[in-house]
């Protein structure tokens, strides 16, 4: 009995919440999601740039991914990985990073 009543209450609440979300301006939800991810982004960037030897490849990888470049129909995330790995290999070969 209690479970059924709870489901009914959640149904009414979900309908009301859906109406509020649909009435919100279009850019509000992506903005809220972006704000919610700021802590995760900051922690990830801090961890990626912590090691001095991998700092430059990590920063360049992030910048290429953030640029949104598309080459041959392939998105920026792929090219960021390619550029980051190649830069890391060049630095290791030159003895700058290990």
Spans of all domains in the chain: 1-36, 40-98
Contacts of 64 (CB under 8 A, 6+ apart): 76, 79, 80, 83, 84
Per-residue pLDDT tens over the stretch 27-85: 888 888 889 999 998 998 888 888 888 888 888 998 999 888 888 999 989 999 999 99
């Amino acid at each position: 009995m209690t479970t059924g009543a709870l489901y009914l209450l959640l149904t009414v609440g979900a309908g009301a919440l859906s109406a509020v979300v649909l009435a919100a301006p279009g850019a509000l939800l992506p903005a809220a999601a972006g704000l919610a991810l700021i802590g995760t982004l900051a922690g990830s960037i801090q961890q990626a740039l912590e090691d001095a030897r991998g700092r430059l490849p990590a920063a360049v990888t992030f910048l290429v991914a953030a640029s949104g470049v598309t080459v041959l129909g392939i998105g920026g995330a792929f090219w960021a990985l390619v550029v980051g790995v190649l830069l890391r290999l060049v630095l290791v070969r030159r003895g700058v990073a290990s």
